[in-house]
Amino acid sequence: MAGSRKVAREFTLQGVYAWLVGGADVTLIAANLKDDEQFKRADEDYFRTLLYGVLKEEDLLSTHITPLLDRPLAELSPVERGILLIGAYELLHCPDVPWRVAINESVELAKKFGGTDGHKYINGVLDKLAQDVRAVEIAAAKGRS
């Protein structure tokens, strides 16, 4: 199941990228991605939750991310921006996903699809966001260690 969520995140990133770059309709984007032979390995429900959620909440997610950046959001590559949006969505809207998992999965996406050191940037931004939006969970985890 965990592997199928990883695949769902990869397809979500492709969808968010297509939307950021081309502005295509989300239904069309999702249909095109489902045609991929590898899509059957993805958790389709999680893919739909992430893709439709990220695109619907893009303004809110960007509002949370922007103060944590060292440059304007528009200057990020579409890949990095997409990964940050997905990670922010998981931190804000998927309490079943532990904060470390949300960050680590985003870092893995950046290593696979992003620029050379993009994963370090993604890690830093999402870690700051997690400190804010998952403070109770992080404090509880520190209390156990």
**DSSP code of 42?**
S
The confidence score (pLDDT) of residue 143 equals 81
Instruction: Say how far apart CA 9 and CA 128 lie, in whole Å.
Output: 21
Residues of the chain where predicted confidence (pLDDT) is lower than 70: 1-2, 145
The confidence score (pLDDT) of residue 48 equals 97
The confidence score (pLDDT) of residue 70 equals 95
Reported as a single tens digit per residue, the pLDDT across 95-119 is: 999 999 999 999 999 999 998 889 9
Instruction: Tell whether pTM > 0.85.
Output: yes
User: How many CA atoms lie within 13 Å of 97's alpha carbon, on the beta-carbon side?
Assistant: 26
Which amino acid is residue 26, in one-letter code? Answer: V
CATH 3.10.105.10 fits 2-144, yes or no: no
